[in-house]
Chains A and B, each alone.
Chain A
Amino acid sequence: MRTVLGRALAQRRVRLGLALVCTLCLVALLAPLIAPYDPVTQLDLAEGQLLGPSAAHPFGTDFFSRDLLSRVLYGARISLSVAVLSVVLSVTIGTLVGLAAGLAGGLLDNVLMRGVDAALAVPRVFLLLVVLALWDNVGVGGLILILGLTSWFDASRIVRGEVLSLKERDFVAAARVLGVGGRRIALRHLLPNVAAPVIVTATLGVGQMVLVEAALSYLQVGVRPPTPSWGSIIFEGQQVLSSAWWIATFPGIALVLTVVGFSLLGDGMRNALDPRSR
């Protein structure tokens, strides 16, 4: 594991990705300390609407005279917490389902994987729109739950594939011969071996989940205003695009930097684990 980490960090791109992700985490944690204003306070509705970037408001202000820099900084909190928590949920479910399907084989495997096929045949944004638009305003907790419950399909396939190939390996056969039970084989012998691909999937998954949350919030069914989410700020910005370019622009840059960070990190870890895939 140490050599894998070393190999990963030897790549300049991984270090860049790590730096981006760490900066982002710091911003999310310290948002109340570094944000110049409160993200939802309407500062001055008479004089302070749609002000361009200036020393007092580096990113300008929005239609409700709120400070955009503060909203973007606080947006990191929402974006990261929603993405990380829902990925943790989805990867946990995916790993369990993948383990069960791969180990049990037969009917259970068939039923689970056909279900996964069907779920993957529905475009993700469409499925989420149906659920989120119909159950009106589920809150951030509900959003995390729904995102997690609808995105474990890929992870379960990857884990199942790994388990199917690991199952035939000698160390598993040896454990079986020694009379080790099924559950113990799954948890003590297989799980540690599928950890690496799962971690890579999860890292890339956080980046993708940030995009999904932003897309849903842009469509007005994700995180609801006035809570600052990058996606919904971009939606608000598009309404005043011709008079206030800054509102749609800055949260988008934050989004790109975030997702690029996670992609660099995830790709780099995959390369380090499997040098051939470069």
Chain B
Amino acid sequence: MARFITVRLAHAAGIVLLVATLTFFLLHLAPGDPLTGVGEYSFIPPEIVEQQRRNFGLDQPVYVQYARYLANLGRGEFGYSFREHRPAAQVILDRIPNTLALAGAALVIAFALGVLIGALQAARPGSRLDDALSMATLTLYSMPVFWLGVMLLLLFGVNLGWLPVGGVVDQAAYPYLSPLGRLGDRLSHLLLPALTLGLVGAAVVARYQRAELLDVIHQDFVRTARAKGLSRASVFWRHAVRNALMPVVTLFGLFFPLLLSGAVLVETVFAWPGIGRLAVDSIRARDYAVVTALAVIAAVMVVLGNLIADLLYRVVDPRTRNAA
């Protein structure tokens, strides 16, 4: 096990380095730099902009900048954000809690709803309920996540007026709310974005859960349990669902890329100040340091997600432990 983890960690480090390199060169080979827009303001003399370029080493050849970037990265330095005039790491750290709240809530919705739907379907495969639900999950799965967000916004925010239309808190009222009121305000802002991301995730989980369950149902231990005289419902929920749940849990790790891509869109729809929205804004502003740092963080999360998935799988299914 220890050897397995070491090999995989080394592998993961290699991938993260590749991603950092790829992003660095994509950014630096593209026309313009973080100061490009700045020079367009007539009140900043071009000499000053040039001076800034020299100060930040943006006039150096790409390979020199790359070497510096790697050296900094090795020391855990992510560089300086031109857009916000402070270290990139700080800019990102400020936004991470918002994205974690969104992704966490979405994960809970995705797994709770997905496992339930998948189980309901597999209980009576081929029934009308199964057909209807699988059409529903397919439709959800085929739905642009940002459009789902806009439609939920239209229904609950604009037409019914039940929920706020964007942001993390109600800027005007928040300072005057009681602690409980503040929590309520945060939750009411979180609900729609989390639901948007969670529903699409639920469709993925449900499809997987249904297939797993149908596999498990035909195995010998299920027949044995039935033969022992246990009721159909008890066998289904206590034996089959439990066993099918385990492979589904491993999906958890594979969810990271979906959540990250989803966060970019959902945060844009709901003006949610997380790292997805930050990515869009930083790329537009050519804020090199923030963009490369986000790419590295995203890659670390995806690679760790894969590793967690594999480890969970080994814990859940002892038969895979001996495979390298």
Contact = CB atoms under 8 A, between A and B. Distances in A.
A269 B299 CA distance: 33
A134 to B, nearest CB: 3
A129 B299 CA distance: 16
Interface string A245-278: 1001100100110011001100100000000000
Interface stretch (A66-74, A190-198, A210-218): A210-218
Contacts of A219: 264-265, 268, 280
B146 interface: yes
B18 A118 contact: yes
Interface residues of A, number: 42
Interface in B100-157: 138-139, 141-147, 150-151, 153-154
Most chain A beta-carbon contacts within 10 A, residue among B26, B32, B261, B279: B261
Interface of A is mostly: helix
A241 B144 contact: no
Contact of B147 (A121, A134, A207, A234): A234
Interface in A135-171: 135-136
Nearest to B283: A133
A38 interface: no
A6 interface: no
A187 to B, nearest CB: 31
Nearest to B302: A121
Interface residues of B, number: 46
Contacts of B15: 114, 117-118, 121
Contact of A263 (B142, B144, B286): B142
A118 B22 contact: yes
B75 interface: no
A118 B159 CA distance: 44
Contact of A121 (B26, B30, B299): B299
13 contacts: A114-B18, A115-B18, A118-B19, A121-B299, A122-B298, A130-B26, A134-B31, A136-B31, A211-B142, A219-B280, A231-B144, A234-B144, A252-B151
Given A114-B14, A219-B264, A234-B147, 16 more contacts: A117-B15, A119-B22, A121-B16, A121-B19, A122-B298, A123-B264, A123-B298, A125-B265, A126-B264, A130-B23, A215-B146, A215-B265, A218-B265, A252-B150, A256-B147, A263-B141
Interface of B: 14-16, 18-19, 22-23, 26-27, 30-32, 138-139, 141-147, 150-151, 153-154, 158-159, 257, 260-261, 264-265, 268-269, 279-280, 283-284, 286, 291, 294-295, 298-299, 302-303
